[in-house]
């Protein structure tokens, strides 16, 4: 990431492991990183077919950060020798990301990844995509619960889901900016488990309507969503 800070550009032709091709990216110095203990993050190893949810449990400003995250043994072994990772997080409703170098990954006393403070961070500004109406069976996975839901529209960058839940269910306390995982069944394209960030919430008599943005997609996941959307448009004309 040998780039000049404070530079706005599109992600066309760039490494879209940070941002999808339909996004604008503002590059900023790493000293502007807004981090706090407990901050939820998404971590991906370049080339891996999925990402992993974790949270920041320690840091030394401008030096290193520590995230609590459960990783498969092969990825953990790779990072214990050092390696590149991609980190994404949400701050005040905006997605930020950066590439950095992992120092180590351990399992005792708990699963932790140590990585370098970034020299450059990227603020991702997604353009609005046209949503395609649908009725897709899905599940929302949170740390303390799992919910059946219906995805009622979807695009390459996000979706809208409806969930029926009572006032005492944890989802009734869900706030804008929180992250979850959406397991979405796309028929012949299979089921994708996608990290999402909630952008808006509407509640009507026990029905929770969540507008969400996909927080991290691999190239394969983007392709599968694109194939599904093309099939939907072709068959619904």
What CATH number labels 7-126? Answer: 2.30.110.10
Whole-angstrom Cα distance, residue 71 to residue 53? 9
- Neighbouring CB atoms inside 10 A of 151's CB total 21
Mean pLDDT by 10 residues, the chain (237 residues): 42 48 78 88 85 91 93 88 89 86 92 94 75 91 86 91 90 87 90 90 92 86 89 79
Q: What is the pLDDT of residue 4?
A: 40
Q: Is the alpha carbon torsion for 91, 93, 99, 101 positive or negative? A: positive
Q: What is the pLDDT of residue 20?
A: 59
Per-residue pLDDT of 118-159, as tens digits, reads 999 998 776 567 788 899 999 998 877 889 999 999 988 899
Q: What is the pLDDT of residue 6?
A: 44
Is there a contact between 224 and 211 (Cβ–Cβ < 8 Å)?
A: no
Assigned CATH class of 132-235: mainly beta
Whole-angstrom Cα distance, residue 80 to residue 113? 8
Q: What is the pLDDT of residue 212?
A: 92
Q: Return the SS3 of 219.
A: helix
Q: What is the pLDDT of residue 21?
A: 57
DSSP type of residue 18: T
- Tokens 């949810």 belong to residue: 53
Per-domain residue ranges of the chain: 7-126, 132-235
Is there a contact between 75 and 88 (Cβ–Cβ < 8 Å)?
A: no
- Neighbour-count burial of 179, counting CB atoms closer than 10 A to its CB (0-12 exposed, 13-18 middle, 19+ buried): buried
Q: What is the pTM of this model?
A: 0.71
Q: What is the pLDDT of residue 98?
A: 94
**Residue 177 region by backbone torsions, left for phi larger than 0, else alpha for psi between -120 and 50, else beta:** left
Q: What is the pLDDT of residue 24?
A: 73
The set of residues, in sequence order, having a beta carbon less than 8 Å from that of 34 and lying 6+ positions away, is 91, 96
Q: What is the pLDDT of residue 14?
A: 39
């Amino acid at each position: 990431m040998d780039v000049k800070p404070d530079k706005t550009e599109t992600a066309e032709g760039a490494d879209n492991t940070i941002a999808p091709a339909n996004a604008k990216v503002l590059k900023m110095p790493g000293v502007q990183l807004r981090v706090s203990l407990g901050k939820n993050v998404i971590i991906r190893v370049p080339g891996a077919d999925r990402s992993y949810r974790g949270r920041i449990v320690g840091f030394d400003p401008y030096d290193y950060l520590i995230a609590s995250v459960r990783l498969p043994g092969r990825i953990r072994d790779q990072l214990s020798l050092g390696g590149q990772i991609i980190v994404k997080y949400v701050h005040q409703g905006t997605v930020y990301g950066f590439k950095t170098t992992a120092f180590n990954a351990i399992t005792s006393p708990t699963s932790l990844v140590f990585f370098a403070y970034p020299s450059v961070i990227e603020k991702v500004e997604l353009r609005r995509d046209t949503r395609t109406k649908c009725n897709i069976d899905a599940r929302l996975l949170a740390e303390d619960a799992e919910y059946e839901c219906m995805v009622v529209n979807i695009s390459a960058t996000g979706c809208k889901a409806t969930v029926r839940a009572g006032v005492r269910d944890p989802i009734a306390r869900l706030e804008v900016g929180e992250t979850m995982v959406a397991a979405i069944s796309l028929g012949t394209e299979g089921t994708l488990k996608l990290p999402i960030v909630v952008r808006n919430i509407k509640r009507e008599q026990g029905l929770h309507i969540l507008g969400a943005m996909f927080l991290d997609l691999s190239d394969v996941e983007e392709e599968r969503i694109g194939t599904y959307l093309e099939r939907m448009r072709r068959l619904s004309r």
